[in-house]
Structure 1
Amino acid sequence: MPETRPLQIQYLKAACSTCSVLELCLPIGLTGPEVERLDTLIVQRFKVKKGTALYRAGDPLRSLYAVRIGSFKTCVLSVDGREQVTGFQMPGEILGLDAISTDLHACNAFALEDSEVCPIHFAHLEKLAQELPSLQHNLNKILSREIVRDHDMLMMLGNMNSDERLAAFLLNLSQRLNMRGYSSKDFVLKMRREEIGSYLGLRLETICRGIAHLRDRGLVEIAGRNVNIQDMEGLKQLVVGCHRPLR
């Protein structure tokens, strides 16, 4: 994109069929020949440096972006310039869905670390989805999952206290990392505590108190950005009202 090229993003050839997050991304469930057809839409994947915007609110929709390496945050700015974090994305997840309804991005997407994405030209993707029902099905599932995540977030903000929100957030990260082959109990937070607070609707001092409360209850130990979940079942019991698997 125009705003990223001056930042010396490195372009590389992509290949869906050999990607390490193939089973978590858009091609999930597609046959070999179907994956090859999807792969032709990804002309070149590219790297995004930590802190760099992949796209900004108001940018026109050109592509969806599959996260291959690294992590991102999406956020919006209030009228007075305050940032509201709306989500965190990791490998195998899709960025850019916010622009489908209006053809303009509704939020900003920033890399939380040096990352790499696979751009999928949206107009070409729509055309291919008309030819491949399995691909259209996957697109529908991805959109539905975003809606369910929004509903879960509303439930969390409306029904949970601050400690429960923090516990639910950590469980969500734990499950998503475990699906990618990483430890569910020991991991590193890629986002700052202020960003976690923004996402959960909590002040920084409330996040810090929540971390201390979870530690005092023997549930989680957090040192800097290093997380060690010491009592997974106890942490789940704390999340009152979360009857569905965390997404």
Structure 2
Amino acid sequence: MFRSYVTNDNVVELCLTLGLCSEGITQLNSLMTPRKGVKKGESLFNQGERLESLYAIRSGFFKTTMTTKEGKEQVSGFQMMGEMLGMDAISTEHHTSSAIALVDSVVYGVDFSQLQQLGREFPALQRNFMKLMSDEIVHSRTVLLMMGTMNSDERLAAFLLNLSGRFALRGYSPISFILRMRREDIASYLGLRMETICRAVTRLREMSLANLSGRDVEIVNLPGLKDHVAGFSRQRV
């Protein structure tokens, strides 16, 4: 049986409470709104909307997308339980992307202005939040580097490794898991055509590194897959 990564309803603690005293944790939990269900295919927030809350994912899976002026949709990331959504809006106070549930999901909202105020009272909370923001910056730079330096096989391998590591942190199998996103979404995120994704899937199978059947993933040789994308395997997608 898999070990659950989320041990209680206060999922924000997974991200923000490291080093925080009990009073700070209590006050942080008090900022959280009641659970909000988001059905598969529904938007949690949309590009251009004003920032009201940050969201912690209690269960489920999301993709974030950006729409160009020409109406083309670009997938910018995938988020799972224990992660936060909405930090793209902090600088302008408006969301630069839309968050769409890939499966039926549950989130908690955290009022951003109140979170800022609480951070001034508890430095540990402020440090943790700054680390989350720093992680977002590192993520963005890593994606750009991946697009500029990796071939299609390496991009897909890095994507699978990233998911593998994130599932492992949550107590799930790092070598056998289900993709919650369509291959079209993966292609958009990785900057590849669908036919290129299909060829990359075939090559990873031929190299005995990973098998993808529909949405089922089996990593056959985890060390070998890591060697295939040496410097990128620990970065967050």
Does structure 2 conserve the Cα–Cα contact (< 8 Å) formed by 1:17 and 1:39?
A: no
Name the structure 2 match of 1:171.
Answer: 161
* Equivalent-residue separation in structure 2 for 1:53 and 1:157 (angstroms): 27
User: How many angstroms apart in 2 are the aligned matches of 1:142 and 1:76?
Assistant: 21
Return the letter of the residue paired with 2:137: I
- For residues 48 and 108 of structure 1, what CA distance do their matches in structure 2 show? 13
Map 1:28-43 → 2, pairs under 5 A:
28-43=18-33
> For residues 156 and 18 of structure 2, what CA distance do their matches in structure 1 show?
30
Aligned pairs (5 A) from 1:12-51:
18-19=8-9, 21=11, 24-51=14-41
CA pair 226-180 structure 1, distance change in 2 beyond 3 A:
same
| Paired position in structure 1 for 2:234 | 245
Moved over 6 A (4+): none
Q: Which whole-Å deviations, capped at 9, do the CAs of 1:126-151 have from their partners, x for residues lacking one?
A: 11111010110111000000011111
CA distance in structure 2 between the aligned counterparts of 1:151 and 1:80, rounded to whole angstroms: 25
Residue 33 of structure 1: how far off its partner (Å): 2.5
8 Å Cα contact 2:31/2:111 also seen in 1: yes
Aligned equivalents of 2:82, 2:21: Cα separation in 1: 18
Structure 1 segment 85-234 matched on structure 2, within 5 A:
85-234=75-224
TM-score by length of 1: 0.89
Amino acid at match of 1:194: E
Secondary structure in 1 matching 2:51 = coil
Residues of 2 paired with 1:177 and 1:73: CA distance? 16
Distance 1:96 1:17 in 2: 23
TM-superposed CA distance for 1:241, in Å, is 4.0
Q: Is 1:76 aligned with 2:66? A: yes
Alpha carbons of 1:84 and 1:171: their partners in 2 closer, same or farther (altered >3 Å)?
same
Q: CA deviation at 1:20?
A: 7.4
Identity of aligned residues (%): 51
AA partner of residue 74 (structure 2): Q
The residue type equivalent to 2:234 in the other structure is P
Structure 1 spans left out of the alignment, 5+ residues: 1-15
> What is the root-mean-square deviation in Å for CA atoms of aligned residues?
1.6
Corresponding residue SS for 1:66: strand
CA contact (8 A) 2:157 2:228 kept: yes
What 5-or-longer segments of structure 2 have no aligned partner? 1-5
Residue 174 of structure 2 aligns to a residue in which SS? Answer: coil
Report the Cα distance in structure 2 between the residues aligned to 1:62 and 1:210, rounded to whole angstroms.
40
What amino acid maps onto 1:116 in structure 2?
V
- 3-state DSSP class of the match of 1:51? coil
Say which structure, 1 or 2, has more relative contact order (CA 8 Å, 6+ apart).
2
Task: Specify the code of the residue in structure 2 equivalent to 1:177.
Answer: F
Partners of 2:66 and 2:91 in 1: how far apart? Answer: 17
Query: Which amino acid is the alignment partner of residue 246 of structure 1?
Result: Q
- Distance in 2, Cα, partners of 1:84 & 1:67: 22
Identify which range, 29-38 or 211-220, moves more after superposition. Answer: 29-38
Q: How many pairs align?
A: 231
Distance 1:20 1:206 in 2: 41
